[in-house]
Amino acid sequence: MEAIKRNIAIVCGGDSSEHDVSMRSAQGLYSFFDKERYNVYIVDVKWQDWHVDLEDGRTVQVDRRDFSCVIDGKVVVFDYAYITIHGTPGENGVMQGYFELLHIPYSTSGVLVEAMTFDKYVLNNYLRGFGVNVAKSILLRRGEENRYSDSEIENLIGMPCFVKPAADGSSFGVSKVKNADQLAPALRVAFMESDEVMIESYMKGTEISIGCYKTKQKSVVFPATEVVTSNEFFDYDAKYNGQVQEITPARIAPETAKLVAEETSRIYDILHCNGIIRIDYIITKDEQGNDKVNMLEINTTPGMTATSFIPQQVRAAGLDIKEVLSEIVENQF
């Protein structure tokens, strides 16, 4: 008797500026999944429009009451949600809450973890309590733009600094500010993306990004990727338009690579994560000239295009992305 295939929904799109980026990740995931083992569907979510994109170009609406759809007269009920929405509502706990209510397993961490990791300021202050090195930062909410003067910000954070939405990704709304008179326009750009804006100190060093996933049977930390860009920082163009050199494994000392892997595994456990996460770090030097590992941010729905960091790192580790995804799915059954 032929085994019944699970119906996998790759949930993508979302309501933020990252909608198109998410759609590219969905196409990558669709190509990676084991079609002999699973029935795989792309579910595009944007505001109230939830639909399945079929291979023949048709779309069918999703019934949000039970997360099902009807294809050619046959009801398809999804058994598992692989969430690849970058931004709201898939990266901030909202979509996770929906699937919790329906008792449908999903690929990311839970509601609390997603909400916390989506808010960079909250996350940094939480992990600082566990001894994780993070940048110095202050938070401004909409309506509080004048809470600090430019000179106070310069004294508190230093120059240069970064101004970024507290909750967003793909570097939308992020500016590198080199002097105080650039703060006001940078804040305006950031507030276009979020109601809360974070001003963060600049750290000079080697930027790396590293993925990790765990199942009941194993813990896997991938080789780190070094990020080298001629842009001011790893912005949207660097991430998605090729204006970057990505070197996997990163050119860091073996003992530093071991430290990064251990810290990544530790943070995964502190937060009680699920599925694949990717953590960005910057390696600076301490007063003695030793490497210091500083966490920049955590991405709980990392990009999954063929050229994204995670597929690169999976290949560098000698693993098969198809098997990795199957392990993540089956871990919850």
Q: Is 96 helix (H, G, I), strand (E, B) or coil?
A: helix
**Do the Cβ atoms of 274 and 110 come closer than 8 Å?**
yes
**Whole-number average pLDDT of the chain:** 93
Q: Could you tell me the CATH number of the domain that includes residue 259?
A: 3.30.470.20
Lookup: tokens for 312: 């690169």
Residue 113 neighbours by CB distance under 10 Å:
21
Tell me: pLDDT of 240 over 70. no
pTM, to two decimals: 0.91
Q: Are residues 100 and 58 in the same domain?
A: yes
Q: Are residues 197 and 208 in the same domain?
A: no
Percent of the chain whose predicted confidence (pLDDT) is above 70 = 94
Tell me: pLDDT of 102 over 80. yes
Q: How confident is the model at residue 132 (pLDDT cuts 50, 70, 90)?
A: very high
Domain that holds residue 55: 6-107
User: Distances from the Cα of 4 to the Cαs of 89, 135, 218, 326, in angstroms?
Assistant: 31, 49, 26, 15
Q: How confident is the model at residue 169 (pLDDT cuts 50, 70, 90)?
A: low
* DSSP assignments along 218-246, one per residue: -EEEPPPEEEE-SSSSS-HHHHHSS-SEE
Residue 283 lies in a domain: yes
> In what side-by-side order are the strands of the sheet with 137-141?
137-141, 196-201, 161-165, 175-177
Q: Are residues 245 and 167 in the same domain?
A: no
Q: Are residues 178 and 260 in the same domain?
A: no
Q: How confident is the model at residue 307 (pLDDT cuts 50, 70, 90)?
A: confident
Q: Are residues 29 and 54 in the same domain?
A: yes
Residue 170 lies in a domain: yes
Q: Could you tell me the CATH number of the domain that includes residue 159?
A: 3.30.1490.20
**Do the Cβ atoms of 225 and 250 come closer than 8 Å?**
yes
What integer pLDDT is reported at residue 145 of this predicted model? 80
Of 153, 186, 201, the residue at which a domain comes to its end is: 201
First CA to last CA distance, the chain = 21
In angstroms, rounded to a whole number, what is the distance separating the alpha carbons of residues 121 and 240? 25
> What's the structural domain count of the chain?
3
Place of tokens 């995964």: 268
Residue 59 lies in a domain: yes
Mean pLDDT of 162-190: 86
Helix (H) or strand (E) holding 196: strand 196-201
What integer pLDDT is reported at residue 267 of this predicted model? 98
Of 107, 127, 149, the residue at which a domain comes to its end is: 107
Q: How confident is the model at residue 173 (pLDDT cuts 50, 70, 90)?
A: confident
What integer pLDDT is reported at residue 18 of this predicted model? 85
What integer pLDDT is reported at residue 295 of this predicted model? 97
Strand partners for 298: 279
Of 148, 169, 201, the residue at which a domain comes to its end is: 201
Q: Are residues 207 and 269 in the same domain?
A: yes
Q: Beta 206-214 vs 175-177: how paired, if at all?
A: unpaired
Q: Is 175 helix (H, G, I), strand (E, B) or coil?
A: strand
Q: Is 134 helix (H, G, I), strand (E, B) or coil?
A: strand
Strand partners for 175: 163
57-84 confidence digits (pLDDT tens): 999 999 999 999 999 999 999 999 999 9
Tell me: pLDDT of 232 over 80. no
Q: How confident is the model at residue 244 (pLDDT cuts 50, 70, 90)?
A: confident
Residue 191 lies in a domain: yes
More confident call, 232 vs 100: 100
- 135 residue type, one letter: A
Burial class (CB in 10 A: 0-12, 13-18, 19+), 148: middle
Tell me: pLDDT of 304 over 90. yes
Mean pLDDT of 297-322: 95
Q: Are residues 87 and 164 in the same domain?
A: no
Q: How confident is the model at residue 17 (pLDDT cuts 50, 70, 90)?
A: confident
182-215 confidence digits (pLDDT tens): 999 999 999 988 899 999 999 999 999 999 999 9
Q: Are residues 307 and 213 in the same domain?
A: yes
Query: What is the chain's Cα-based Rg?
Result: 20
Q: Are residues 79 and 146 in the same domain?
A: no
Residue 125 lies in a domain: no
283-302 confidence digits (pLDDT tens): 999 999 999 999 999 999 99
What integer pLDDT is reported at residue 194 of this predicted model? 85
In degrees, rounded to 5, the angle at the alpha carbon of residue 89 between the alpha carbons of residues 87 and 93 is 100
Q: Are residues 185 and 144 in the same domain?
A: yes
Residue 241 lies in a domain: yes
Place of tokens 């943070």: 267
Instruction: Name 67's Cβ contacts closer than 8 Å, sequence gap at least 6.
Output: 9, 77, 78, 81, 99, 102, 104
Largest CA distance in the chain: 73
Tell me: pLDDT of 147 over 80. yes
Tell me: pLDDT of 146 over 90. no
User: Distances from the Cα of 203 to the Cαs of 51, 161, 206, 245, 285, in angstroms?
Assistant: 43, 8, 9, 20, 10
